[in-house]
Structure 1
Amino acid sequence: MSARRPSPAPAPALAGGHRLSGVDAARGIALLGMMATHILPLSQALPGGGGGPTWTALLFAGKASALFAVLAGVGLALLTGGARPQPPERLRRSRRGIAVRALLVAVIGFAAGSLDAGVAVILVHYGVLFLLALPFLGLPARRLAWWAGGWLLLSPVALFLLLPVVRAWVDPSDVGGSPAFTDLAQPVTVLADLFVTGYYPVVAWLGFLLVGLAVGRSDLSRPPVALALLAGGTAVAAAARWGSAELLAAPGANAALRAATGLSAQGLDTALATGQKLDGAQQSIWWFALSAPHTGSPLDLLHVAGTALAVLGGCLLVAAALTATLGPLGDALLWPVAGAGAATLTLYTGHLMALDLLSGMTAELPRLAVYLGFVVAALLAGIVVKWSGVRGPLEAAVHAASAAAAGGRIRERT
């Protein structure tokens, strides 16, 4: 994401080796999932009356953005040595490059926040998460796993305690979900949005990056590791969802949540699937029983983190199987989604610009048709990226700046 400093030795790389197509494919799935939640409705009217969640909500709400964040942690781990963390001097240079990358991503996020896309842009939060991850880059996998587990379980408690205090102090609606350059005139409100009140509260979301860092410190090229991610992630996600269902079946749980949110019984069921209209739930202790998207509760964080690990493990297994059975052809079959995943910064920002610029042209079109158009465009771009071997424009600019700051050439594995 200056001039190269003189050095008596060859300039170090942040990581060596080829890109892991399974990681890129998982990133591509995250991108397509986020596009789906931005374009398609999350709730729908049912024939018998009332409403319910759409397939978009069931598949992607909360999960796609969390997958994005977990993979950011995986990427940072791979940039700093993967299963073998870099020695202190190289790690110091890597941190400098990653800090520049974080600042550039945040700047792009502030610019994207000024677009009229109707989307809660994640990029500024992403940049802040990169900066907060810097102290953890030198830790081994086991310590990172303890940090990640503890953060996922305890940060929601901090969030629950901080929310009423911060909301009494600032008005979160002043930022509107996507921090823009103009919001910097209200720095306290912007900080509150980034860390506590926003759609992606960094206080809780740092746990996803730590999960990714811990995973990235393992040998992701080995199928047993991928299988463990798939099985373990599925088990964690299922256990979190089951635990939430059991807790919400307790006497008084639904009544308390309906009172806190002002929703009907059916409306609450829909909200639990979409994550919408649940702000009031944070006033009830039953908030800790939720696994609904973007609530930030412990079971929500565990559910989407488990889902992210399962998707990553599945993608790694598919990529390994295709390469083992079909060779280069098998790898080429993943070009569309893996290529899109290798250019997510460009494609994510580009789709926000398109949502703004083409809003008048697409307003009357079926939302599914609009979404499929974006999917086709992203997959075609992925083929171009893989076929040409070039980076996306934003990836190239961020890479050049971060490599210069690190004092050497960066050979990225992911």
Structure 2
Amino acid sequence: MPAPYAPKQAAPRIVGVDVARGLALLGMFSVHVFGAFDEAGSPTPAWMFAGGRSSATFAVTAGIGLAFTTGGRRPATGRPATVAVAARAGVIALIGLLLGYASRAADLDVDVILAFYALLFLTAIPLLGLGPRTLTALALSLAVGAPFAVHALRGALPPPAFDGDPTLQDVVTDPLGLVSDLLVHGDYPVLAWTAYLCAGLALGRLDLTSRSLAPRLLGGGLALVAGVWLVSSLVLFRFDGLRQLWRAEFPGASRAEALWDSPDGVTWWALLSRAPHATTPFDLLLTLGSAAAILGGALLLTRSALLTWALTPLAAAGSMPLTLYAAHVLLLATGALSGSPGLLYAVMTTGALLFALSWRHVGRGPLETVVAGAARRCREGVTPPRPPEPVADPVRLSKHTE
């Protein structure tokens, strides 16, 4: 049964989860630095290997972290857990909306993800008491069905009036547009991305230290990727799906763009795409499989003491993703080294790894400390005091022993 109170102490860190999160973080850096397409119109290696997969793995590990902070294998539900999760969502939303000012001022093509994460955390509150099997079934059902709902609702809900990442001002001036952006119009539509959060919650409710779980995650994730890739290839190339997608969504574009760029969703043919961030069943299932395989591989690698030591910088970065994500957005907003993407990526990743290694001796990352502190104070504020332990009556006790 779910525990009535949220846990007082944080669960011990699992290095493999931090390594997977660190890999996702560096993958997101690469996509934001190198972009999706080069000057010739071909997809960049960063887009081909990390596009969609890194942000999906980031979202899945966020769900794992949420599961850890709400009881792990024994889910903590009730008002204290609800208030703590809501507080986390509120602080993350505030950070994301503040970063929106920097993103807009620099006209970045980054699409800050934090406001979407905040809404994902709020949608997770009713799901905290569910078991791993139910959450897994829900994740797969959403991956298949939610893209159809997103496509339909994009025509029903008004698009946001603002251009670029949302800010605090948009909460007041365009609240309906902000909600529709977060739910369906944005690059990380919460209606579909809840699939990643459900998958992460399911994984966080399992024993991730189990010897048998890691190879199952690796093998199962790779099998899902291979199976979905095969089916999508048949649909796109054998049954003429790519030509229909090309004509309907990418008139005048190249074949590579039609295959690798996310469609605008003008027609229902858009749902055949498997491109990163296409928000289609193929895209969601492929990235879910990739996230599971990455996590399984990271858990396997960190069974070796030598490899765990070698991966320490990556794990350190993965333990403070919010801080490093915000820092990389601010660095991109400065425009520094924008003409040398290779050097910029080297500086960004090296700086992130060195900072994480140095700061880990202090504790949580700076922004992680703020979020955890807000959640703890809010949880403690609504947690009823535990009744005092009964004290034995010395008179009755002496009579009983005579």
- How would you bin the TM-score normalised by the shorter chain? 0.7 to 0.9
Structure 2 residue 64 is matched with structure 1 residue 74? yes
Distance 1:251 1:332, change over 3 A: closer
SS state at 2:156 partner: helix
Contact preservation (8 Å) 2:248, 2:269: no
State whether structure 2 residue 207 is matched by structure 1 residue 219.
yes
Q: What SS is found at the alignment partner of 1:52?
A: coil
Q: Does 1:128 align with 2:119?
A: yes
- Structure 1 residue aligned with 2:357, among 362, 380, 383? 383
Letter in 2 for 1:405: C
- 10, 16, 19: which one pairs with 1:22? 16
Question: Which residue of the partner structure matches residue 5 of structure 1?
Answer: none
Tell me what 2:379 maps to.
Answer: 406
> In the TM superposition, what is the alpha-carbon distance from 1:287 to its structure 2 partner?
2.4
In structure 2, the partner of 1:159 is 150
1:354 pairs with 2:331: yes
Unmatched segments (≥5 aa) in structure 1: 1-10, 409-414
2:51 corresponds, among 44, 57, 61, to: 61
For 1:356-391, what per-residue CA distance to the aligned partner results, in whole angstroms no more than 9, with x for missing partners?
A: 12x1x4233x211111110000111121133x1411
Distance 1:103 1:14, change over 3 A: same
* 1:160 Cα offset (Å): 1.8
Give secondary structure in 2 for the equivalent of 1:165.
Answer: coil
CA shift digits 1:272-304 (9 cap, x unpaired): 22x34x21xx23333232211111111110000
For the pair 1:42 / 2:36, whether they are aligned, the reply is: yes
Partner of 1:285: 268
Residue 256 of structure 1: CA displacement? 2.1
Contact between 1:15 and 1:82, CA under 8 Å: does it hold in 2? no
Q: What's the counterpart of residue 373 of structure 1?
A: 347
Contact 1:288–1:298 (CA<8 Å) still a contact in 2?
yes
1:176 and 2:159 aligned: no
After superposition, the Cα gap between the structure-2 partners of 1:84 and 1:263, relative to the gap in structure 1 and judged at 3 Å, is: same
Query: What TM-score results when the alignment is normalised by the length of structure 2?
Result: 0.88
Identical counterparts, % of pairs: 37
- Measure the CA separation in 1 of the matches of 2:259 and 2:217: 26
Structure 2: 5+ residue runs without aligned partners? 382-402
1:108 and 2:95 correspond = yes
Deviation at 1:234, TM superposition (A): 1.1
CA contact (8 A) 1:98 1:402 kept: yes
For CA contacts below 8 A with separation 6 or more, give which structure has more relative contact order: 1
2:192 match: 204
Cα contact 2:221–2:291 (8 A) shared by 1: yes
- Aligned 8 A contact 2:246 2:258 in 1: no
| Distance in 1 (alpha carbons) for counterparts of 2:341 and 2:170 | 31
Distance in 1, matches of 2:249 and 2:301, equals: 42
Offset at residue 153 of structure 1 (A):
1.3
Classify 1:291/1:15 alpha carbon distance in 2 versus 1 (closer, same or farther; 3 Å).
Answer: farther
CA distance in 2, matches of 1:14, 1:202: 29
Q: Which residue of 2 aligns with 1:147?
A: 138
Check the 8 A contact 2:183/2:191 in 1, yes or no. yes
Residue-by-residue CA offset, 1:32-60 (whole Å, 9 max, x unaligned): 11111111132124xxxx53211101111
Larger Rg: 2
| 2:295 alignment partner AA | L
TM-score by length of 1: 0.85
Which amino acid in the other structure matches residue 110 of structure 1?
A: L
> Does structure 2 conserve the Cα–Cα contact (< 8 Å) formed by 1:14 and 1:81?
no
* Matching residue of 1:269: 256
* Partner amino acid, structure 2, of 1:32: L
One-letter amino acid of the structure 1 residue matched with residue 72 of structure 2: G
The yes-or-no answer on 1:236 pairing with 2:227 is no
Q: Please show how residues 183-198 of structure 1 align to structure 2 within 5 Å.
A: 183-184=170-171, 185-198=173-186
